[in-house]
Chain A
């Protein structure tokens, strides 16, 4: 991160590799550089909203009201506007999630090939229900719509890593790998 990142890609860093410190300072140091880089790529500040929200989530793990307020201030938007946009997109977590956000694709391609069993196995092993975070704060299992890798069912994305061809019997091993 310390090597100046090319502004062309400063706003497009996969954001879920989260340090996940909900109180971490926003947009300081290298993040400030990225923030400034992002602003150079658009004719107005509003356009930086999605990249900046991604970056905020990367730092803090979720988009809290405080985060939205700060982003609104930096981009000359109202907090309500930021909330409206953030709540439109499913990748922005408006509530805290577990350290491992397990996203099981239930799109038609995966559904035809057993996504349901994969989801059930994840829930069974993490002792959670859909969308809930496990007691130890480690896992949140969610169903997501088509992840666009339908030939490799079931597709599972954990934070910013993609796992293809996951079968129910692979789930236990996958969870072990995460720890």
Chain B
């Protein structure tokens, strides 16, 4: 907000507030903690003022005014709760429910539905209409999104998302008046890499993600602040989890990164995350087999092996690993003698969101390639070639090694596998330290432009899996490298002290919306 703009004083529901000129009543009310009911208004879209839910009473105005577009004027006295405003809202709710199927028990939006919420708050219990309801049915609008026309309140948020943000107006209101509905071109489905946002903006259950259909009731989901690991953009997300599984991802507002949006790829990607045979217990090689052991045995074995190791350490890391994990691997390697680490990044076509061009599904389909580079790991095409003739210690962090050559790691004196999934190649390790996925621990990623962002733990890790910043710090301590870390924040603190690209940052400073270190901002490169 422009600091020079003039402040005007207004009164809303008896409380006074000073807001900059040009602020809408709806925004001014939010300053006072008053949420004015609305359907068509969405903070990321234009305001057509058409649902008429946000009508409020303004002293001296001949009729109620839409709070979403009405700008404040000095001395304005607004009531959101008087008889007139309540009657207007009750009227709108009644109109919206005239033909609404009231199928909440089988509607995906139940529990997060603005129609349900406001109907409970302002609606009347008794239905006054005796006319039969209009039945319209449902249809696909994309191959993954279903449109339930009967539930639609024609707020046009989805239409405006496609028009203003995607800038491909392929979803439209068809017909007019009470015959209106939302559709694509006749008999066509549309495709757009950001299409799923129309499900998010839908205030009711009209647009639903078929993938989520009937999977969970929204009130059964736990919400955790996280970062989408799908690409190097680092969209801020909320993980919706149930029974220790990720059910869905929803974008979490961050004006610097993804606004209210995220791409479809990210959502689909993460629900598949962690598929495969999980590494649940530490394992140590005994002759020809990997024997499950407890952590103390595993750590003993690791310390012992590292102390005896010769020939330096190489590593293959995954660019989806957290900064804290990468940092710990780097420290462990330094104990033996850092001899270079590499990673590869899978890539795909870039898709920029035209109406919010800061956001793109990036070519790098990994969350932390920038972090890995900052911590001294090198991007290569062939991760296996880089370690082919290595005779010393080999660390592998999170890389799944699905396509590893037959003789992978055969020459290494010691192969330590730190990861969450055990592929056949990983099973060749001498020591396996099971670790959680990003959803199962705290940590940070550095996005493509150097923004460091925190994700938090939403799931319990399986079995005995522990983050490497934790288990590795015990190994380090035993080898004379200071005190073990008791939290991800502490691990990050040590990292920030050591690497200038993170200098001045802490979990507190990063918060839940991320930060860029002063050093990174001024263009300084990694130490």
Q: Classify A-B as touching or not with yes or no (CB < 8 A).
A: yes
A residues with a Cβ closer than 8 A to B are: 65, 68-69, 77-81, 83-84, 87-88
Name the A residues within 8 Å of B171 (CB-CB).
80
**Secondary structure of the B contact surface, majority rule:** loop
In the assembly, what is the distance between CA of A107 and CA of B240, in Å? 55
Given A87-B174, A87-B175, A88-B176, is A81 in contact with B186 using a C-beta cutoff of 8 Å?
A: no
Given A80-B169, A80-B170, is A87 in contact with B185 using a C-beta cutoff of 8 Å?
A: no
Please determine whether A81 and B174 come into contact, CB atoms closer than 8 angstroms. no
Name the A residues within 8 Å of B186 (CB-CB).
65, 68, 83
Name the B residues within 8 Å of A77 (CB-CB).
169
Chain B 178-192: CB-based contact to A (< 8 A → 1; otherwise 0): 000001111110100
Name the B residues within 8 Å of A81 (CB-CB).
169, 172
Name the A residues within 8 Å of B187 (CB-CB).
65
Most A C-beta atoms less than 10 A away, residue of B171, B172, B173, B187: B172
Contact residue among B173, B175, B185 (Cβ-Cβ distance under 8 Å from A78)? B185
Name the A residues within 8 Å of B184 (CB-CB).
80
B174 → A minimal CB distance (Å) = 5
Q: A80-B183, A80-B190 are in contact. List 9 more A-B contacts (CB 8 A).
A: A65-B187, A78-B169, A80-B170, A81-B169, A81-B172, A83-B172, A83-B185, A87-B175, A88-B175
Please determine whether A84 and B173 come into contact, CB atoms closer than 8 angstroms. yes
**Total chain B interface residues with beta-carbon distance under 8 A:** 16
In the assembly, what is the distance between CA of A78 and CA of B176, in Å? 19
In the assembly, what is the distance between CA of A79 and CA of B174, in Å? 12
Most A C-beta atoms less than 10 A away, residue of B168, B176, B185, B188: B185
Contact residue among B168, B174, B176, B190 (Cβ-Cβ distance under 8 Å from A83)? B174
Name the B residues within 8 Å of A84 (CB-CB).
172-174
In the assembly, what is the distance between CA of A163 and CA of B173, in Å? 34
A130 → B minimal CB distance (Å) = 15
Docked complex: B180-214 residues within 8 A CB-CB of A: 183-188, 190
A126 → B minimal CB distance (Å) = 25
In the assembly, what is the distance between CA of A77 and CA of B176, in Å? 20
In the assembly, what is the distance between CA of A81 and CA of B173, in Å? 9
In the assembly, what is the distance between CA of A80 and CA of B192, in Å? 14
In the assembly, what is the distance between CA of A81 and CA of B185, in Å? 8
Nearest chain A residue, comparing its CB with the CB of B175:
A87
Docked complex: B471-517 residues within 8 A CB-CB of A: none
A95 → B minimal CB distance (Å) = 11
A135 → B minimal CB distance (Å) = 26
In the complex, the 3 A-B pairs of residues with the closest C-beta atoms, listed nearest first? A84-B172, A79-B185, A80-B185
In the assembly, what is the distance between CA of A87 and CA of B179, in Å? 10
Chain B 255-281: CB-based contact to A (< 8 A → 1; otherwise 0): 000000000000000000000000000
Nearest chain A residue, comparing its CB with the CB of B171:
A80
In the assembly, what is the distance between CA of A77 and CA of B172, in Å? 12
A75 → B minimal CB distance (Å) = 13
Please determine whether A68 and B185 come into contact, CB atoms closer than 8 angstroms. yes
Name the B residues within 8 Å of A83 (CB-CB).
172, 174, 183, 185-186
In the assembly, what is the distance between CA of A68 and CA of B183, in Å? 15
B247 → A minimal CB distance (Å) = 31
Nearest chain B residue, comparing its CB with the CB of A65:
B186
Name the B residues within 8 Å of A87 (CB-CB).
174-176
B161 → A minimal CB distance (Å) = 14
Nearest chain A residue, comparing its CB with the CB of B184:
A80
Most B C-beta atoms less than 10 A away, residue of A80, A84, A88: A80
In the assembly, what is the distance between CA of A88 and CA of B175, in Å? 5
Please determine whether A65 and B185 come into contact, CB atoms closer than 8 angstroms. yes
Nearest chain B residue, comparing its CB with the CB of A82:
B185
